[in-house]
Structure 1
């Protein structure tokens, strides 16, 4: 039986393993940590359960597709609920806007609170859907580095519609031309952070993102986000995939431009193909030291990172929902700090995820599990201890003022994740959450391909390669790899 090795048990690595097992390969996944899932993991502390990483779930069909491919019933492994309120937004002037899942109700809310036209809001969401229609098949589900992609009729049709992607307009300028109130513009500018970018520089193409939430739906898996990992690992193991934890890969073995295997923990394992879910920078720098790296791609500016406080809060807040945003007063200054000065402003936008709103077992009775996150620059050896200390005080002050409760006295347990620990745990270059940033107008074409052009049998998946970061795109990168790899019988 032909063998496949997968480096890294992030969500894309697990999904790739499933797809290769279905194709008949004997698959082994190597994970350097003692847990699986990469960023998509969880932990429990003092009676509180926290999802450690991604907290928003969209495009559940990408997960369901793996069960369907394997001929297994999804509901025996995995289930989820649609959120009636996607996000609860709080502004410095006291305005509170609920982003209802029903887009007509959301449009009504924005009209009442910000004085926008209901039709303008719905038109913006319709344009978001059109962006997705143009890009889905070509830019998200296929390799941009294969000639066959461009010989496809759907690709030709999409190419004629490229002007509709607004590549040469920034997200902010596009939103400013659509809406009249700064609060509405700020709300929609926020979607640039979904792939670690700056709305004042990133192309308006990123206005595709609201479509995923408002037109297709936002969800919370039963058992929390980590259940995505656990359910897919269960499926993979049923298909015969072997997971090796505490197995750090040291080298990708090749000969005469062809894959031969992997060296991990001092042992060599023979493989016919290898899929790296490791960040593309680390893959080349550490695992392929004898190969000339694609410096232009590896040196692209990286996305932002995150500073996360996991707080066990001994109180409930009825005004909060699963997803909550407390906006900064000066959004442009916040992004200038992150991307220009590589620092954190004193008034950062604060995101709070509270899964215990729906998953009651995630916190003790009468308490809530707060995942408190701010966007920060990637790691360039800043004084993170000082940044963390200052940010913690500023976050507490902001939340205490808006919620009318002194937050410090409510925190009964705490854990912290910063760019240094993100980089150390997940091998993400500079602790960036999404690989290269999308601030460049042609960022989609500046991600590494899902295969190595000079090493036969080597493939790449995950957030640092095409089509990008975030759970849906990572799963799509695994699909692209799965479509490329020939069946084991060939």
Structure 2
């Protein structure tokens, strides 16, 4: 019997992880990628002697990466190394307050108490609640398909369902955080975690208050080779397992035969496959690759509100700023107005919260001597035809003024080089509809249940992974989507190569 074949469309982190898992399972695996490089959002940019990680800049839950190497019988540290951060992030407030978010819970709570007067016990209790939400949701809602009856027949699932009110789905994040803390600066700090999946803390359910647990219990990390080393190490592993990558190759269609997958079609040929796994935004999967099968399109899912996007300036900076660390947040003075601009007005607030990632703090060759590589990001709405050139020009000016004021000197002359990523280019480079980084938003208490399933209920052999399907966006959840897909796919019969 010939070896069963799996085709994966897109070499994003979920697609690479799915390729590894299916190769280990016994499939012959080929990955087709439109770009000339792997990684999708998890790629890199080189500019005038500066190197930037293009997309995700925070590493949490590295055990999900290690698991892939272990699964393949390899020693993870031989491929991928990382170090735990003592300080997860530095926060800068408009009133001059500066705060170090230590990874250690007790130290973090004491820092908040010292800088804001908020009782340390409030922080400790809050993070304990974050832990409880994680314990209820993780194994049931994140590591398994929510679209199979078997999931709900398990005792641990039923136990989690009985504890559903404890995950706080009926309040918004902001209401829950305002109840937990008296100081508005602390409320703002924990509200920002809604942006980790492109949502609005004034609308998103308080269930998302699970996210701080990931940083302050499991920790935040820096990969020794920068974030792009995640992609590089996993591609190396996949290739060692026999996975074939085809770059600069657009897939034009998922080919069906009745209600069964037959393969894919590229410009050059028809590639037969037993299973096909798109690792691209679900909107493009249906509208482009299954455009001839409108009866299969899940209209309600495709019509859901999209997540927010990002505007990123990659700046080569001709100076070292010792007051900055790997991760830095400069808060807006009016968080509610900032989110109203994103979600109601579909524009950019004049005083946005600014995130700066500087990987050269840990990987010095990412910038020339005496310089730093600044990844400067603000949250922006999805692309709905706004005048982005005008919005970008205004945002650049406002961000430079804001940072110059807080850092005590004009940063504009220090910018040696610049390149930009905005919702338009995010869409074209990563097949993310409207530039939405996380697919659909989580501004709904039932958002987890409304995400697209990891397996088609209408087409045999069609599966889905990546940030726009269950369980969601971000590196850990994308890796889990690959795990769920691998668990759902049938184990192929033993294959014996002909001698």
Fold-level similarity (TM above 0.5) = yes
By how many angstroms is 1:402 displaced?
Answer: 0.1
Q: Aligned with 1:460: secondary structure?
A: coil
Q: Aligned with 2:345: secondary structure?
A: coil
Q: Which residue in the other structure is 1:29 paired with?
A: 31
Q: Distance in 2 between matches of 1:138 and 1:249?
A: 34
By how many angstroms is 1:128 displaced?
Answer: 0.4
Q: Find 1:214's aligned residue among 213, 216, 230.
A: 216
Q: Aligned with 1:374: secondary structure?
A: strand
Q: Distance in 1 between matches of 2:398 and 2:233?
A: 38
Q: Distance in 2 between matches of 1:327 and 1:266?
A: 50
Q: Distance in 1 between matches of 2:382 and 2:164?
A: 31
Query: CA deviation digits over 1:355-407, x for unaligned, max 9?
Result: 00010111111100000000000000100000000000000000000001211
Q: Aligned with 1:97: secondary structure?
A: strand
1:234 aligns with 2:241: no
Q: Distance in 2 between matches of 1:180 and 1:449?
A: 40
1:409 aligns with 2:422: no
Q: Distance in 2 between matches of 1:41 and 1:391?
A: 24
Q: Find 1:420's aligned residue among 418, 421, 424.
A: 424
Q: Distance in 2 between matches of 1:148 and 1:310?
A: 46
1:56 aligns with 2:49: no
Q: Which residue in the other structure is 2:441 paired with?
A: 437
Query: CA deviation digits over 1:255-313, x for unaligned, max 9?
Result: 11001000012310000000110110000011111322000001100000000000000
Q: Which residue in the other structure is 1:323 paired with?
A: 327
Q: Distance in 2 between matches of 1:265 and 1:98?
A: 52
Q: Distance in 1 between matches of 2:220 and 2:148?
A: 32
1:159 aligns with 2:169: no
Q: Find 1:373's aligned residue among 374, 377, 381.
A: 377
Q: Distance in 2 between matches of 1:489 and 1:463?
A: 30
* 4+ runs deviating over 4 angstroms: none
Q: Distance in 2 between matches of 1:221 and 1:405?
A: 31
Q: Which residue in the other structure is 2:195 paired with?
A: 193
Which residues of structure 1 form unaligned runs of 5+?
Answer: none
Q: Map 1:134-145 onto structure 2 (within 5 A).
A: 134-145=136-147
Q: Which residue in the other structure is 1:279 paired with?
A: 281
Query: CA deviation digits over 1:16-64, x for unaligned, max 9?
Result: 0000100111100000011100000002111111000000000000000
1:304 aligns with 2:308: yes
By how many angstroms is 1:101 displaced?
Answer: 1.1
Q: Distance in 1 between matches of 2:266 and 2:230?
A: 27
Q: Find 1:386's aligned residue among 368, 387, 390.
A: 390
Q: Which residue in the other structure is 2:260 paired with?
A: 258
1:462 aligns with 2:459: no
Q: Distance in 2 between matches of 1:45 and 1:488?
A: 45
Q: Which residue in the other structure is 1:86 paired with?
A: 88
1:347 aligns with 2:351: yes
> How many positions carry a matched residue from both structures?
490
Q: Distance in 1 between matches of 2:50 and 2:287?
A: 38
Q: Distance in 2 between matches of 1:431 and 1:469?
A: 13
Q: Distance in 1 between matches of 2:342 and 2:67?
A: 37
Q: Which residue in the other structure is 1:477 paired with?
A: 481
Which residues of structure 2 form unaligned runs of 5+?
Answer: 495-499
Q: Aligned with 2:208: secondary structure?
A: helix
Q: Which residue in the other structure is 2:497 paired with?
A: none
Q: Which residue in the other structure is 2:363 paired with?
A: 359
Query: CA deviation digits over 1:174-195, x for unaligned, max 9?
Result: 0000000000000000000000
Q: Which residue in the other structure is 1:43 paired with?
A: 45
* TM-score (norm: length of structure 2): 0.98
1:11 aligns with 2:38: no
Q: Distance in 2 between matches of 1:385 and 1:12?
A: 32
Q: Distance in 1 between matches of 2:40 and 2:328?
A: 24
By how many angstroms is 1:486 displaced?
Answer: 1.2
Q: Distance in 1 between matches of 2:46 and 2:76?
A: 26
Q: Distance in 2 between matches of 1:116 and 1:328?
A: 20
Q: Distance in 2 between matches of 1:488 and 1:67?
A: 21
